[in-house]
């Protein structure tokens, strides 16, 4: 287990609840990129696979938590992207 990997995942993970809360509260998703979010999800999924195959430890839960949060943000994007963002 790498302390630095865990710290990186925690730091990345702090931003997603803020983004989710903003989308939920305002129901506006302008400026968000679904392609970017999908790339981030793929990255977290790759981290999970790596943990399972080569380096299983508790940091896998940080990867999974972050992946769930980005997926929720992506779902909110699709939910609110059809609305007028003016």
Q: Is 45 among the domain residues?
A: yes
Q: Is 86 among the domain residues?
A: no
Q: Is 85 among the domain residues?
A: no
Q: Is 7 among the domain residues?
A: yes
The answer to pTM > 0.85 is yes
Structural domains of the chain, count? 1
Q: Is 72 among the domain residues?
A: yes
Q: Is 36 among the domain residues?
A: yes
Q: Supply 60's token pair.
A: 């896998």
- In sign, the C-alpha dihedral spanning 71, 76, 79, 83 is negative
Domain that includes residue 74, residue range: 3-80
In whole numbers, what is the pLDDT of the chain averaged over residues?
A: 93
pLDDT band at 82 (very low <50, low <70, confident <90, very high): confident
CATH number at residue 25: 1.20.1280
């Amino acid at each position: 287990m790498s302390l630095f990997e865990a710290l990186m995942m925690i730091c990345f993970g702090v931003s997603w609840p803020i983004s989710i809360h903003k989308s939920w509260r305002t129901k506006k998703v302008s400026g968000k990129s679904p392609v970017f979010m999908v790339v981030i999800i793929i990255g977290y999924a790759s981290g999970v696979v790596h943990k399972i195959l080569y380096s299983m430890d508790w940091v896998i839960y940080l990867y999974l938590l972050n992946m769930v949060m980005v997926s929720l943000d992506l779902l909110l994007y699709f939910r609110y992207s059809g609305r007028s963002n003016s």
